């Protein structure tokens, strides 16, 4: 059993006044008080700190924390022709926003910015590290389509593009690529869901390496079999938003490496380790512990830095207490 994170980590230090404060560095850069090399130095320090938070707490599968990403979806436009960046929209139920991509032409991969960012994180990582990308269905759902006017074609093309991007991340040293799919996790329409699942499979095939999906903010309990059938390396689930998923996994199992999102990444309150342990042990009776990953249910960037670190501390504590648990 290992631990991991999902997506982004806070960019600021726990002590705001610390010198490696990326927010202050960006403000200073924009005001002309520091130059690009100074900003880059603070960005790299921020990346190193995000990795250290994890390695210090025994995280087995590291994440890059998306330190250079402004949100989950708009940075993809840096590397993809046919995507432009539009206005701010609320990101699901959060007081957090993203710049929505606007599809203005046929999408195809033209850049290497995101793999380059990841390679910098990989160079600083002390262990296996995964890359996080938006999944094709979520990217399509959060975009404004002015070109295709056909969701199936748009999702398929985005799957191709994201699959190629995933391959570049794998070539840059990613242990795996995790597609974040909150829109798919919440999708109630079976036809659209089938599109999203097919797109994940298509992207995974293009990636030619281990690809996972993180399904948060939704409850895929009713279609776990469909999800299992697409043959990903593994899937991470949100057991905070959908506690019933724990029972479903405990009853029916799931193939691959199964992620259990057991800590609430949007709530400062720290979980009772006994309750979390009970959930994990129930699943571990059905799924071999070596196939389990423990993690927060979504990105820890919804918390301030001190809150995120406390969650990682609790994750480490729970993980340690589960050593020796067998099926």
Q: Is 243 in the site for another protein (CB under 8 A)?
A: no
Q: Is 10 in the site for another protein (CB under 8 A)?
A: yes
Question: What is the CB neighbour count within 10 angstroms for residue 248?
Answer: 18
Shortest approach of another protein to residue 269 CB, angstroms? 6
Helix (H, G, I), strand (E, B) or coil at 214: strand
- Please tell me the chain's helix, strand, coil percentages from 3-state DSSP, rounded to the nearest 5: 45, 20, 35
Q: Can you read off the two tokens belonging to residue 175?
A: 């242990």
Beta bridge partners of residue 83, listed in sequence order = 103
Q: Is 137 in the site for another protein (CB under 8 A)?
A: no
Cα 203 to chain center, whole Å? 16
Q: Which of 23, 33, 285, 327 binds another protein (CB under 8 A)?
A: 23
DSSP class of 79: T
Q: Is 245 in the site for another protein (CB under 8 A)?
A: no
- The answer to whether residues 129 and 48 touch, using CB atoms and an 8 Å cutoff, is no
Interface region with another protein, contact rule CB under 8 A, candidates 46-54, 90-98, 165-173, 175-183? 90-98
Q: Can you read off the two tokens belonging to residue 58?
A: 């025994």
Task: Report the alpha-carbon distance of residue 254 to residue 95 in Å, rounded.
Answer: 33
Q: Which of 49, 99, 257, 311 binds another protein (CB under 8 A)?
A: 99
Q: Which of 17, 19, 31, 93 binds another protein (CB under 8 A)?
A: 93
Q: Which of 45, 61, 98, 158 binds another protein (CB under 8 A)?
A: 98
Shortest approach of another protein to residue 287 CB, angstroms? 29
Q: Which residues lie below 8 Å from residue 201, measured CB to CB, with a gap of 6+?
A: 230, 231, 232
Q: Which of 5, 11, 232, 296 binds another protein (CB under 8 A)?
A: 11
Shortest approach of another protein to residue 268 CB, angstroms? 4
Q: Can you read off the two tokens belonging to residue 174?
A: 């990613």
Binding mask 180-219 for another protein (x = CB under 8 A): ----------------------------------------
Q: Is 305 in the site for another protein (CB under 8 A)?
A: yes
Name the nearest CA neighbour of 157 among 92, 95, 123, 206.
206
Q: Can you read off the two tokens belonging to residue 44?
A: 């790299």
- The answer to whether residues 10 and 300 touch, using CB atoms and an 8 Å cutoff, is yes
Q: Is 285 in the site for another protein (CB under 8 A)?
A: no
Q: Is 39 in the site for another protein (CB under 8 A)?
A: no
Q: Which of 63, 82, 135, 307 binds another protein (CB under 8 A)?
A: 307
Q: Is 85 in the site for another protein (CB under 8 A)?
A: no
Q: Is 272 in the site for another protein (CB under 8 A)?
A: no
Q: Is 134 in the site for another protein (CB under 8 A)?
A: no
| Sheet with 80-90, side-by-side order of all strands | 80-90, 97-109, 144-145
Q: Which of 97, 106, 226, 229 binds another protein (CB under 8 A)?
A: 97
- Give Cα separations from 17 to 13, 55, 242 (angstroms): 8, 23, 38
Q: Is 268 in the site for another protein (CB under 8 A)?
A: yes
Judged by the rule CB under 8 A, the positions of this chain that interact with another protein are 10-12, 14, 16, 22-23, 26-27, 70-71, 87-90, 92-99, 267-269, 301-307
């Amino acid at each position: 059993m290992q631990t991991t994170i999902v997506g982004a980590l806070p960019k600021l230090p726990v002590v705001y006044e610390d010198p490696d404060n990326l927010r202050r560095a960006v403000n200073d850069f924009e005001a002309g008080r520091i130059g690009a090399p100074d900003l880059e130095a603070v960005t790299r320090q921020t990346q190193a700190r995000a990795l250290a938070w994890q390695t210090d707490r025994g995280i087995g599968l590291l994440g890059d924390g998306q330190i250079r990403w402004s949100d989950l979806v708009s940075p993809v436009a840096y590397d993809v022709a046919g995507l432009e960046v539009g206005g701010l929209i609320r990101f699901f139920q959060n007081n957090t926003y993203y710049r929505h991509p606007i599809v203005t032409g046929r999408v195809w991969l033209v850049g290497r910015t995101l793999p380059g960012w990841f390679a910098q994180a990989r160079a600083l990582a002390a262990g296996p590290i995964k890359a996080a990308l938006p999944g094709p269905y979520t990217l399509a759902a959060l975009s404004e389509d002015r070109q295709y006017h056909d969701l199936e074609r748009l999702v398929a093309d985005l799957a191709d593009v994201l699959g190629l991007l995933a391959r570049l991340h794998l070539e840059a040293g990613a242990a795996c690529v995790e597609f974040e799919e909150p829109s798919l996790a919440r999708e109630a329409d079976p036809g659209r869901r089938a599109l999203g699942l097919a797109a994940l499979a298509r992207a995974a095939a293009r990636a030619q390496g281990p690809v996972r999906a993180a399904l948060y903010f939704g409850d895929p309990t009713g279609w776990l079999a469909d999800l299992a059938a697409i043959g990903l390396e593994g899937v991470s689930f949100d057991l905070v938003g959908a506690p019933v998923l724990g029972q479903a996994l405990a009853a029916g199992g799931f193939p691959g490496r199964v992620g259990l999102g057991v800590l609430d990444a949007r709530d400062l309150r720290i979980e009772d380790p006994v309750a979390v342990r009970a959930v994990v042990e129930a699943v571990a009776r059905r799924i071999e512990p070596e196939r389990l990953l423990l993690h927060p249910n979504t990105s820890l960037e919804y918390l301030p830095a001190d809150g995120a670190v406390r969650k990682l501390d609790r994750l480490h504590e729970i993980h340690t207490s589960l050593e020796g648990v067998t099926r």
